[in-house]
């Protein structure tokens, strides 16, 4: 074999390797290949070993894993005219590889833009109290709205979560004052409830004591015991008015005789 023949064989082998390398593709379990033949979509293949016709076929690799995309902070004016900054995160995946490539130019960019506009639209229809207290309801509404728009692209939006809600300083102070007023109101209500229950118990005790003189006498002796236990320099000793009743009657008789 002359040197020229050896060089030609080497060049042919080199081109053969290039052609084979462009004809063979290996796709992972979570990947699919969208195959175009002379510009026409012929289907989706994978996972595993894929054989292509060199020069004629072109493959676009698509991942089927769930993607997490952060929605940048958006300036939103709520329905009650409060300006807030809201950021969120969305979780989605490709369920139809062909649609994700054919129906939209860049499904990642399109999904990102859609999430921003949907976030501003949905939150603009909600009040601030709903945004702060009904987070699950708003997340579900965002997910359903986005999923409806991305379905023609072969994309399934599984979850949307509002991450941060940044309020203006004056609104934070107003909410703090409102929370403080609410705590004071609850404290006053609890105190009033305690006073009402105590008055009911005292009224019940008064009824029991008024119907039993012995109970009144026992209560009187208990009070004396409690007073005597204290180290006081002066002790006030209450005396029942009934003890002075005979003296009052005697004084009344003398006054009538005179």
Question: What pLDDT, on a 0 to 100 scale, did the predictor assign at position 221?
Answer: 64
Name the 3-class secondary structure at 69: strand
- Which tens digit of pLDDT belongs to each residue from 156-195? 999 999 988 888 777 656 666 766 777 778 888 888 888 8
What is the structure's pLDDT at 66? 95
Residue 237: the pLDDT is 58
SS3 32: strand
SS3 17: helix
pLDDT beneath 50: ranges in the chain: none
For the chain, domains (ranges, CATH) are 3-63 (no CATH), 67-167 (3.30.479.30), 178-251 (no CATH)
What span, in angstroms and rounded, lies between the C-alpha atoms of 115 and 147? 10
pLDDT at 171: 67
């Amino acid at each position: 074999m002359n040197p020229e023949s050896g060089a030609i064989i080497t060049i042919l082998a080199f081109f053969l390797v290039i052609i084979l390398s462009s004809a063979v593709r290996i796709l992972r379990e979570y990947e699919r290949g969208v195959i175009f033949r002379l510009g026409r979509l012929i289907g989706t293949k994978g996972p595993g070993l894929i054989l292509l016709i060199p020069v004629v076929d072109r493959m676009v690799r698509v991942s089927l894993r769930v993607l997490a995309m952060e929605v940048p902070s958006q300036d939103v004016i709520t329905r009650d005219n409060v300006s807030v900054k809201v950021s969120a995160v969305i979780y989605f995946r490709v369920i139809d590889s062909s649609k994700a490539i054919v129906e939209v130019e860049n499904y990642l960019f399109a999904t990102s833009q859609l999430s921003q506009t949907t976030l501003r639209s949905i939150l603009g229809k909600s009040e601030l109290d709903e945004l702060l207290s009904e987070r699950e309801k708003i997340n579900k509404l965002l997910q359903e709205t986005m999923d409806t728009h991305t379905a023609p692209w072969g994309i399934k939006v599984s979850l949307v979560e509002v991450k941060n809600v940044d309020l203006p300083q004056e609104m934070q102070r107003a909410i703090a004052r409102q929370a403080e007023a609410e705590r004071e109101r609850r404290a006053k209500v609890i105190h009033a409830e305690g006073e009402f229950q105590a008055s009911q118990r005292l009224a019940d005790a008064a009824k029991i004591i008024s119907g039993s003189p012995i109970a009144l006498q026992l209560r009187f002796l208990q009070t004396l015991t409690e007073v005597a236990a204290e180290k006081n320099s002066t002790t006030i000793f209450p005396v029942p008015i009934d003890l002075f009743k005979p003296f009052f009657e005697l004084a009344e008789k003398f006054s009538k005789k005179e």
